[in-house]
């Protein structure tokens, strides 16, 4: 692990795997998780790529930063790449990490060979609901959310209880800073890229979970219709498809990035 400073002097926890001389992939986690949710992807791709994972600000070992926006989350990705002196990379983000990828496609596409947007949307949820959740979490903590999160993250077809990565990911939610979680909720409340994503020209893969109740296949189809150079795929999984359908996710992702 490296603790690096972003452009505002705040610390981000960053983890790297593989040979820095190989092409780079950077993975961005979902709300309430940390870098460890990408273990299945690290295991496969670090053999042929230089893989970077990080804890999104306010998550894991990264600093909680107030007044965070989606633009800030995108800037953190560029700051991490700059730290490693990586001029261009493949980006893959899930949920909150996915909308971060859309922002990167709008603001910094010169830094990317490709952008994969997994289980995400150009607008995730509703502003009022996010703001209400942020306030509740700051006052009451994350216990209520932790107790029901498996119903959103994984489908009934998936034995998450006996999956080590799934259990570690649920545990990462339970130890996430309530303030960090709330700040991300507020960032998502304000993030609406539906009218802008048609400007993205970098190759994009939109990857959806068939059973995802949070960011649906319809959300994915909207992005695919509006992003000119995009591909679309659906896997048999719920919201954390990279864990529930790891092999299928990896195979689709590998085929996509191998073109670029």
Rounded distance between C-alpha atoms, residue 150 and residue 28, angstroms = 20
pLDDT, tens digit only, all 260 positions of the chain: 999 999 999 999 999 999 999 999 999 999 999 999 999 999 999 999 999 999 999 999 999 999 999 999 999 999 999 999 999 999 999 999 999 999 999 999 999 999 999 999 999 999 999 999 999 999 999 988 998 889 999 999 999 999 999 999 999 999 999 999 999 999 999 999 999 999 999 999 999 999 999 999 999 999 999 999 999 999 999 999 999 999 999 999 999 999 99
**pLDDT for the residue 144:** 86
The CATH number for 100's domain is: 3.40.50.1820
Sequence-distant (≥ 6) Cβ neighbours of residue 44 within 8 angstroms: 250, 254
Nearest to 166 by CA among 253, 6, 31, 37: 37
pTM of the model: 0.97
User: What's the first-to-final CA gap in the chain, in angstroms?
Assistant: 28
Enclosing domain of residue 58: 2-257
Count how many domains the chain has: 1
């Amino acid at each position: 692990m490296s603790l690096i400073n972003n452009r505002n002097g705040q610390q981000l926890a960053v983890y790297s795997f593989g040979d820095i001389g190989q092409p780079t992939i950077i993975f961005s986690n979902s709300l309430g998780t940390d870098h460890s949710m990408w273990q299945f992807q690290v295991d496969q791709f670090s053999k042929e790529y230089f893989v970077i994972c990080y804890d999104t600000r306010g998550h894991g070992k990264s600093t909680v930063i107030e007044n965070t926006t989606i633009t800030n989350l995108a800037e953190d990705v560029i700051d991490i790449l700059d730290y490693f002196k990586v001029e261009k990379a493949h980006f893959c983000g899930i949920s909150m990490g996915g909308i971060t990828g859309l922002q990167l496609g709008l603001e910094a596409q010169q830094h990317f060979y490709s952008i994969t947007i997994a289980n995400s949307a150009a607008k995730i949820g509703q502003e009022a609901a996010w703001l209400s959740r942020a306030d509740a979490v700051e006052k009451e903590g994350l216990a209520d959310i932790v107790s029901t999160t498996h119903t959103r993250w994984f489908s009934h077809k998936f034995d998450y209880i006996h999956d080590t990565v799934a259990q570690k990911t649920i545990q990462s939610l339970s130890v996430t800073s309530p303030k960090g979680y709330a700040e991300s909720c507020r960032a998502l409340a304000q993030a609406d890229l539906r009218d802008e994503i048609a400007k993205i020209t970098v190759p994009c893969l939109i990857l959806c979970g068939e059973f995802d109740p949070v960011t649906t296949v319809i959300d994915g189809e909207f992005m695919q219709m509006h992003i000119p150079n995009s591909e679309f795929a659906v896997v048999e999984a719920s919201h954390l498809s990279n864990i529930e359908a790891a092999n299928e996710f990896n195979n689709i992702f590998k085929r996509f990035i191998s073109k670029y």
